[in-house]
């Protein structure tokens, strides 16, 4: 049974309305504006309020203002009940949020008809709101599922590339962490803030594992060679940037709509071996012509390569790796990116230790971090 709250300072009016409505609804009564505001908070809240306009202390106008200003009561429909018959008074009541206006003396058939109509309207609105909430929840769940599928697919492709190069270990996870640390450090910097929005940062983190996807196209004889590559082999190795770029571009063409993270993934794949002074590859671009996402990946990739053990080299001590990065400031790397790295170097070391490829490496990096902290 729906609940109606009647608010009137006159006992005879409360009694008349209560007797009229009780056969059909659960009725509550309040003989003042103050009492009405307390009663409306009692569960179950009323589905409709019949509110007298002229009352002492707090009139109906003040009551409806307070009801509509509180999110807990703003949705309850209010019908003004008054002896006033001025159009201006009626317009004022409707402007304040009343759904209807009933004049005294009360005519039972009119009251019952209008109460029934507005309760049906409220029930319909409540049903639509519930349905909208359900649909929004379903859409949010599907979008979350799509994001998970997308992330898993990206990781699967990236791991496919890693299967060709068994020494990379947790390289993908670490470089994602490094990029996030750099991006958060730089997101308020004047040169970077326009690009490093929260959405672009998430897209960079999402696309970072694809930076070396082009290695899938490099022959085993070169990719898995234990020693140093000769000049011809090195030229072939460098093509992995283009191979990755074109693979992502083909995937982008197959997509039903543009995906922002794929644009960033292309930039990272193609440009993450470029250097600030133009001495990198594949195109020898320099300075601000290198996309920001690729500049961050360039430093993250080099740091991880320096501190990680490979078949052809041991991992550099962290302090030596930091020094090498510093020496590349303004030549290999964007100076501001290096400054950001220096500001969050402990976070880099934590990430390297947390996702190291062996227990001994974890202990070594934790020891190095302890030395830096002291």
The per-residue pLDDT for range 2-18, each reduced to its tens digit, is 999 999 999 999 999 99
**pLDDT > 80? residue 369:** no
Structure tokens at 65: 């203002």
Residue 271's φ and ψ, nearest 5 degrees, are -110, 0
The answer to whether 316 and 324 have CB atoms below 8 angstroms apart is yes
Contact predicate 29/9, CB 8 Å: no
Q: Are 127 and 38 in contact (CB under 8 A)?
A: no
| Other Cβ atoms closer than 10 A to 69 | 10
Average pLDDT over residues 301-310: 89
Percent of the chain with pLDDT over 90: 58
Q: Which one has a higher pLDDT value, 298 or 154?
A: 298
Q: Determine whether 114 is exposed, middle or buried from the number of CB atoms within 10 Å of its CB (0-12, 13-18, 19+).
A: middle
- Can you read off the two tokens belonging to residue 75? 């949705």
- pLDDT surpassing 80 at residue 362: no
Provide the CATH number for the domain formed by 3-133 in this structure.
3.40.50.2300
Helix 335-343 × helix 292-307 angle, to 10°: 50
Task: Give the whole-angstrom CA distance, residue 324 versus residue 362.
Answer: 21
What pLDDT, on the 0 to 100 scale, is given for residue 163?
A: 60
> H/E element holding 82?
strand 78-82
pTM: 0.60
User: In the predicted model, is pLDDT for residue 359 greater than 70?
Assistant: no
CB 268 within 8 A of CB 296: no
Place of tokens 């750099």: 182
Q: Which of 223-232, 262-271, 316-325, 351-360 has the lowest mean pLDDT?
A: 351-360
The pLDDT tens digits for 60-92 are 999 999 999 999 999 999 999 987 665 676 777
Question: Residue holding tokens 């799509």?
Answer: 146
207: confidence class by pLDDT, cuts 50, 70, 90? confident
Question: Quick one: average pLDDT of 104-111?
Answer: 90
Chain region(s) in the chain for CATH 1.10.3210.10:
163-373
Average pLDDT score over the chain: 87
Alpha-carbon distance of 97 to 111, in angstroms, equals 19
Residue 204 pLDDT greater than 70, yes or no:
yes
230-283 residue pLDDT tens: 999 999 999 999 999 998 888 778 777 777 888 899 999 999 999 999 999 999
Domain range 163-373, its CATH number among 3.40.50.300, 3.40.367.20, 1.10.3210.10, 3.30.565.10:
1.10.3210.10
DSSP 254-309: HSSS--HHHHHHHHHHHHTT--TTS--SSS---GGGS-HHHHHHHHHHHHHHHHS-
Where are the CATH 3.40.50.2300 domain residues in the chain?
A: 3-133
Q: Which residues of 9-22 are buried (b: 16+ CB within 10 A; e: fewer)?
A: beeebbebbeebbe
Query: Does residue 131 have a pLDDT over 60?
Result: yes
Choice among 185-189, 295-299, 353-357 with the minimum mean pLDDT:
353-357
pLDDT of residue 326: 96
């Amino acid at each position: 049974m729906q609940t109606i709250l009647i608010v009137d300072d006159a006992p005879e009016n409360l009694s008349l309305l209560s007797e009229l409505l009780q056969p059909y609804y659960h009725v509550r009564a309040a003989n003042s504006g103050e009492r009405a505001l307390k009663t409306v908070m009692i569960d179950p809240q009323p589905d409709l309020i019949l509110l007298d306009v002229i009352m002492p202390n707090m009139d109906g106008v003040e009551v409806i203002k307070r009801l509509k200003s509180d999110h807990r009561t703003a949705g309850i429909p209010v019908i003004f009940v008054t002896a006033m018959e001025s159009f201006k008074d009626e317009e004022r009541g409707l402007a304040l949020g009343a759904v209807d206006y009933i004049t005294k003396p009360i005519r039972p058939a009119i009251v019952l008809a209008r109460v029934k109509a507005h309760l049906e309207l409220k029930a319909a609105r409540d049903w639509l709101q519930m349905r909208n909430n359900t649909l929004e929840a379903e859409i949010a769940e599907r979008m979350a599922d799509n994001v998970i599928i997308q992330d898993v697919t990206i990781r699967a492709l990236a791991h496919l590339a890693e299967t060709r190069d068994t020494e990379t270990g947790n390289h993908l996870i670490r470089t994602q962490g490094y990029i996030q640390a750099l991006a958060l450090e730089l997101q308020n910097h004047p040169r970077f803030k326009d690009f490093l929005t929260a959405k672009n940062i998430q897209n960079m983190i999402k696309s970072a594992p694809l930076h070396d996807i082009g290695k899938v196209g490099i022959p085993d004889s070169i990719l898995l060679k234990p020693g140093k590559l000769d000049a011809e082999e090195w030229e072939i190795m460098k093509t992995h940037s283009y191979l990755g770029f074109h693979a992502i571009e083909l995937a982008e063409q197959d997509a039903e709509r543009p995906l922002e993270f794929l644009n960033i993934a292309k930039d990272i794949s193609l440009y993450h071996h470029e250097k600030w002074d133009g001495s990198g590859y594949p195109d020898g671009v320099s300075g601000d012509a290198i996309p920001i996402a690729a500049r961050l990946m360039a430093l993250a990739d080099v740091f991880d390569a320096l501190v990680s053990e490979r078949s052809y080299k041991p991992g550099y001590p962290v302090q030596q790796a930091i020094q090498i990065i510093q020496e590349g400031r303004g030549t290999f790397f964007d100076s501001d990116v290096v400054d950001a790295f220096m500001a969050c170097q402990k976070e880099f070391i934590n990430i390297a230790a947390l996702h190291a490829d062996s227990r001994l490496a974890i202990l070594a990096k934790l020891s190095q971090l302890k030395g830096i902290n002291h």
